[in-house]
């Protein structure tokens, strides 16, 4: 029952940022084989292009979300919140108490986790980069490597299935187009500098 109440709460967060029609579309969506292939292809393209620099996972997630928004006829939203592994928070932060967006600058100070929701499906490319980083949280690294191996680049599954593999995505905020623009500006500079 918790997954259902979580999806209702996430629908409210989508509505707060993008309106109720977007929230209804989000809740009603179920991905097709074609969508899953588009997600895998889009992720492969972005992961090849994006520099594997530690600390750039937010820009990676925003770039992949933007790519999926362009490729899929599906509700794609970038979500900020807490990532728990085996019940322990490994990436978390709080929203500003004044109600402003934590992503209002090109270099946000967000210390939580960003992931993509395609309807009720989690798409997370950052989790493997975080697990493989030299300064990775040991609980995250051990769990991700033990559950998936160290050679993966993308986690994609229905949100309720994530808990069955020890991952808990707790949403706090759904990013707006303006929020994503700030992250995409930073991502563009990273990609440009990486290609130079």
Least confident of 80-84, 155-159, 183-187: 183-187
Q: Residue 160: how many CB atoms within 10 A of its CB?
A: 14
Instruction: Report the alpha-carbon distance of residue 78 to residue 81 in Å, rounded.
Output: 10
Contact 86, 21 (CB under 8 A): no
Model confidence, pTM:
0.86
pLDDT band at 72 (very low <50, low <70, confident <90, very high): very high
Q: Which residues contact 182 (CB under 8 A, 6 or more apart)?
A: 103, 104, 105, 106, 108
For residue range 102-155, what is the model confidence (pLDDT) as tens digits?
777 665 677 889 999 999 999 999 999 999 888 899 999 999 999 999 888 899
The number of C-alpha atoms within 13 Å of 85 and in the hemisphere containing its C-beta is 19
Torsion of CA 58, 47, 118, 4, to 10 degrees: -70
pLDDT of residue 3: 53
| Host domain of residue 86 | 2-195
Report the C-alpha gap between 5 and 103 in whole angstroms.
26
Strands 113-118, 88-91: pairing is unpaired
Rounded to an integer, what distance in angstroms lies between the CA atom of residue 105 and that of residue 176?
A: 13
Alpha-carbon distance of 144 to 127, in angstroms, equals 8
pLDDT tens readout for residues 26-45: 888 888 899 999 999 999 99
* Average pLDDT of the residues of the chain: 85
Q: HEC string of the chain?
A: CHHHHHHHHHHHHHHHHHCHHHHHHHHHCCCCHHHHHHHHHHHHHHHHHCCCCCCCHHHHHHHHHHHHHHHCCCCEEEEEEEEEECCEEEECCCCCCCCCCCCCCCCCCCCCEEEEEECCEEEECHHHHHHHCCCCCHHHHHHHHHHHCCCCCCEEEEHHHHHHCCEEEEEEEECCHHHHHHHHHHHHHHHHHHHC
Total of domains in the chain: 1
Supply the Cα-derived Rg of the chain in whole angstroms.
16
């Amino acid at each position: 029952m918790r997954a259902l109440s979580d999806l209702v709460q996430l629908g409210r967060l989508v509505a707060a940022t993008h309106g109720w029609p977007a929230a209804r579309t989000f809740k009603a969506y179920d991905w097709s084989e074609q969508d899953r292939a588009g997600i895998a292809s889009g992720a492969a393209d972005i992961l090849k292009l994006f520099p594997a620099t530690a600390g750039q996972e937010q820009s990676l997630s925003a770039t992949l979300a933007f790519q999926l928004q362009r490729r899929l006829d599906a509700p794609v939203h970038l979500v900020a919140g807490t990532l728990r592994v085996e019940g322990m928070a490994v990436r978390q932060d709080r929203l500003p108490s004044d109600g402003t967006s934590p992503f209002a600058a090109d270099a946000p100070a967000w210390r939580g986790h960003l992931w993509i929701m395609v309807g009720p499906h989690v798409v997370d490319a950052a989790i493997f980069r975080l697990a493989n980083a030299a300064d990775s949280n040991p609980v995250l690294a051990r769990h991700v490597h033990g559950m998936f191996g160290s050679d993966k680049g993308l986690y994609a599954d229905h949100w309720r299935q994530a808990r069955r593999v020890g991952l808990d995505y707790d949403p706090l905020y759904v990013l707006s187009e303006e929020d994503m623009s700030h992250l995409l500006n930073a991502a563009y500079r990273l990609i440009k500098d990486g290609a130079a």
